[in-house]
Structure 1
Amino acid sequence: MECTLGQIVSQRKLSKSLLKHGNTAGKSSITVIAEELSGNDDYVELAFNARKLDDKDFFSKSDPFLEIFRMNDDATQQLVHRTEVVMNNLSPAWKSFKVSVNSLCSGDPDRRLKCIVWDWDSNGKHDFIGEFTSTFKEMRGAMEGKQIQWECINPKYKVKKKNYKNSGIVILNQCKIHKMHSFLDYIMGGCQIQFTVAIDFTASNGDPRNSCSLHYIHPYQPNEYLKALVAVGEICQDYDSDKMFPAFGFGARIPPEYTIYDKMFPAFGFGARIPPEYTVSHDFAINFNEDNPECAGQIDNGSEHHAPVLPPPEEETLAMLLTHHALGIQGVVEAYQSCLPKLQLYGPTNIAPIIQKVAKSASEETNTKEASQYFILLILTDGVITDMADTREAIVHASHLPMSVIIVGVGNADFSDMQMLDGDDGILRSPKGEPVLRDIVQFVPFRNFKHASPAALAKSVLAEVPNQVVDYYNGKGIKPKCSSEVYESSRTLAP
């Protein structure tokens, strides 16, 4: 039995017949159940105060703040949190704060934590008031409204002064452990990934009949568009139960007689002229069915229809790229290859229309108030976009929706503008100055992975998607199905 990890986690429980030499081994079957080991991604909310701290100032009271350090295995210490300064107060109440369990104790509730209280000075030479040590396990005692307190000790005073007791008392008033929902929580809770493809059919790609064209269909070796499409699509389809991908194009034209498939993914084109009128379109269905742009594949592993022609040595064929798991993405590949001869590549390179099209579907999902569908738009393009202002506006709007945009640049064009859309080097803003609510764009130039495996490309392209999914639903306060917002007080972390 063969399957992908994505298939297992998206179904939670996967059962398949056992195979022997490609045939079923009697009535034998195997069942794989997925369960995420959680805990370190959760966060803890702590609230400290103190009383009767030592006064370190001559003309006023101390200005105390608290620092918490995690003690590492190599005897070093790592600052976890520094509170705000409470001015002129020997009994401060610091604001509550949140920190991940992993940052606080590396998932080990018995790891030692050092807490230091300082008197703030404007020159940066803060005066030491005292310290104490604890563990996250001890701090958890403050759950359910209890208080935990420690004596704040100055070791020098303890040695020098016989009657020294402490330099004050630090109290933990609150300890709440919150569940930080993960990408797998949402996927295993039934959230479906709705994957849409948009392909650049502008003239800058070159005539598909010419071997120098980025759209040239080589008899043995897939072009960059196909490599990127298959690498990303094979991953995404595992999180989509119906395997239906809408596929669109931009910058081309379409014939009305084109037939559609069955087991589907929407795929779109842009930038070409479409027959019979040959008007430029920036969001046409590449299966030429605007009412149902989803493309179907009929891969039957081992069938004669899909037996590849033997390639020259060291050549990577499309059949090699398309594994027997690639049911849905095969339909997009077939629609892409079939539509190319019917299109007139044109331009310009406008991607705002296709972003707006997918955003319209994503906006309808917001009415459900559930984590049921998240939309991923994969745009494959060869050049600099010509509608940058509209694209920025569309992305800012889409950042409020359950949607991510992945752009893969094929060829050797200057993609510096695409890096700006990515937002990693700064906050993307609309022409009116409105910032994105969250970063939803990932840009990857294919040339960086030209000689790498499809898995390496897919990993880079999809690297930010899990966090984007979590950020959207957490920001909306939408929980995965069958999950609780806060840990039960009886729940403990694995030691």
Structure 2
Amino acid sequence: MVVAYTKKRDGTLEELGRTETLKLNDQEFLGEGSCVLSEIVTKQGQSLTLDLHNRNGNKGLKNLGKLTVHAEETVASRNAIEVIFRCSHLDNKDLFSKSDPFLRISRIVENGGSVPICKTEVVDNNLNPIWRPLCLTMQQYVSKDNPLVIECFDFNTSGNHVLIGKLQKSVADLEKLHKQKTGASFILPSSAQHGHEKVLKGQLFVDQFCEKQLYSFIDYVSSGFEFNFMVAVDFTASNGNPRTPDSLHYIDPSGRFNAYQQAIMEVGEVIQFYDSDRRFPAWGFGGRTNDGTVSHCFNLNGSASGIEVEGVQGIMAAYASALNHVALAGPTLFGQVINNAAEIAGQSLSYNSCKYFVLLIITDGVLTDLQETKDALVRASDLPLSILIVGVGGADFKQMEILDADNGCRLESSTGRVATRDIVQFVPMREVRAGGQTSVVQALLEELPGQFLTYMRSRDIKPGAVNIAQTSASHATI
């Protein structure tokens, strides 16, 4: 029999499943192996063969055999519906302007509670909004007859969104609304002021409903699409003197990782398997380099021209070396690093549409260039790029939550341009550590596949495009 485990944040193992329901204590141990999921899905045929070894991790002289692990996606992750929602005559919840409505859709679960599965963007100052097409996979809604709760809120920047109205419909009901071209009335739940539910004038319409088969994340990866990893490290003075143990940059002689090293290793060890050459651009920002100037984007390896290092260990070595010749300074500016990453992602479009870029920014401080960073992110939202931000230390990271845009309102530039999609995921390390079993890498990478798929689908890039691009490149070389 085979038992599969996942390693939790504290290093202990949690069972995921087993091939037979037998007592482990009664069975003879034959060997064990370990890998990360990205190793499997990036292999030809999504199969990986592991050498089995003893529990102490040593293979020794005895051959304990091999185990082949195969990964495949469920059909539910491919089947989807695309809908366009519209509302009319919504109640106005704002005093000096009209409501800024958005929809949140939740699935009702067995215990009677509900789990949010998606939400629309915010439409500003509009009581008759039409939202962009929304895609729901069967994995999210489970079945066409499963009840969904659709809530309409008035967006508030404080996060205290005001409920305009709600209703309950299944996917089958939504399809019927579309075919019959009728609307469904929102209700306002009973409260202390109203002892019963109130049927509202506002209605929900389904202007478009179509079923489709989606290309999955594994479809793209298995056909040759790659993730190119980049990293940027905060060298501002607020990190503390690297030579003192209380510094966030302190390199412990015992080998215990500081927060920066932990973030680099955890994220890099997963993403590296999606990158064939494993050469990663690595920068620092906010430090005073050898020429005496403060740089907000310098090469971590100290080279004047070469920005890349070899593998995750190359990043770790360049980071440790930089601490010896770069003086911590400030302020904390993201704009230049994001622009450099965006330039690399943009250049790739001219010769290869089969790469997607991931920039990891690790920082301890409060941004000084918030608007410039917003402008850079809005421009980058059109590119094959996602940005992961890890907050270390005890600073106030409210600004990072604004950049994350998980509140349903997309970033807006200083010129009024709105981001085409959300490309940022922010995780404060202290909260992840205090919050239970979720690791930093799990929290950081949670949204990455969705951001990748949103980009590919919005540009109608299909998995087969990688083979076409590679063939064209080969012919051009010849």
TM-score computed with the length of structure 2 as normaliser: 0.62
Q: Is the aligned partner of 1:7 residue 2:39?
A: yes
**Equivalent residues in 2 for 1:97-108 (5 A)?**
100=136, 102=138, 106-107=142-143
Letter in 2 for 1:202: T
CA distance in 2 between counterparts of 1:444 and 1:27 reads: 40
Residue aligned with 2:263, SS: helix
Structure 1 residues 141-196: Cα deviation after superposition (integer angstroms, max 9, x where no partner): xxxxxxx99xxxxxxxxxxxxxxxxxxxxxxxx99642222222222222111111
- More displaced 10-residue stretch of structure 1: 175-184 or 440-449: 175-184
Deviation readout 1:180-236 (Å, 9 max, x if unpaired): 222222222221111111000011111111222211112233221112222222222
Which of 235, 242, 261 is the matching residue for 1:208? 242
Structure with greater Cα Rg:
1
Specify the alignment match of 1:335 in structure 2. Answer: 318
Report the Cα offset of residue 23 of structure 1. 4.6
Tell me how far apart the structure 1 counterparts of residues 449 and 140 of structure 2 sit (CA, whole Å): 23
Closer/same/farther in 2, CA of residues 235 and 453 from structure 1, 3 Å limit: farther
Deviates more, 1:417-426 or 1:445-454: 445-454
1:445 to 428, 432, 437: 428
Among residues 258, 261, 277, which one is paired with 1:242 in the alignment?
277
- Equivalent residues of 1:39, 1:107 under 8 A apart: no
Q: Distance in 2 between matches of 1:24 and 1:359?
A: 50
Give 1:41 deviation, angstroms: 3.8
Describe the SS at the equivalent of 1:215.
coil
SS in 2 for 1:195: strand
Matched residues in 2 for 1:112 and 1:189: separation?
34
Structure with larger RCO (C-alpha < 8 A, sep 6+): 1
Q: Among residues 374, 383, 400, which one is paired with 2:356 in the alignment?
A: 374
Report SS of the residue matched to 1:246. strand
Q: Which runs of 5+ in 2 are unaligned?
A: 1-32, 85-106, 114-132, 148-169, 181-207, 467-478
Structure 1 residue ranges (4+ consecutive) displaced by more than 6 angstroms after TM superposition: 70-76, 133-136
SS where residue 41 of structure 2 aligns? helix
Work out whether 1:415 is the aligned partner of 2:415: no
1:400 aligns with 2:382: yes
Equivalent residues in 2 for 1:306-321, closer than 5 Å: none
How far has the Cα of 1:45 moved from its partner? 6.7
Displacement, 1:17?
4.6
CA contact 1:231–1:454 (8 Å) conserved in 2: no
Q: CA deviation at 1:374?
A: 0.7
Matched to 1:334, the amino acid is: A
> Whole-Å Cα distance in 1 between the matches of residues 364 and 146 of structure 2?
54
Measure the CA separation in 2 of the matches of 1:294 and 1:98.
38
Report if aligned partners of 2:76, 2:139 keep a CA contact under 8 Å in 1: no
SS at match of 1:335: helix
How far apart, in 1, do the equivalents of 2:417 and 2:39 lie? 39
**Identity among equivalent pairs (%):** 38
Query: Offset of 1:44 from its aligned partner?
Result: 4.3
Deviation of 1:352 after TM superposition, in Å, equals: 0.7
The Cα of 1:103 is off from its aligned counterpart by 8.1
Describe the shift of the 1:103–1:213 C-alpha distance in structure 2 as closer, same or farther (beyond 3 A).
closer
User: What is the TM-score with the length of structure 1 in the denominator?
Assistant: 0.60
Question: 1: distance between equivalents of 2:357 and 2:309?
Answer: 17
For the residues of structure 2 that align with 1:17 and 1:5, how far apart are their CA atoms?
A: 16
**Distance of 2:304 and 2:338 partners within structure 1:** 16
Conserved? CA contact 1:231–1:455, under 8 Å: no
1:466 corresponds to: 449
Distance 1:175 1:389 in 2: 38
After superposition, what is the alpha-carbon deviation per residue over 1:41-100, rounded to whole angstroms, capped at 9, x for unaligned? 4224799xxxxxxxxxxxxxxxxxxxxxx9999999xxxxxxxxxxxxxxxxxxxx9874
Offset of residue 35 of structure 1: 2.3
Q: How does 1:118-197 map to 2 (within 5 A)?
A: 177-197=211-231
Post-superposition Cα deviations, 1:259-283, rounded to whole Å, max 9, x if no partner, equal xxxxxxxxxxx111111x1211111
Query: What RMSD over aligned residues (CA atoms) do the two structures have, in Å?
Result: 3.8
What is the rounded CA distance, in whole Å, between the counterparts of 1:75 and 1:391 in structure 2? 42
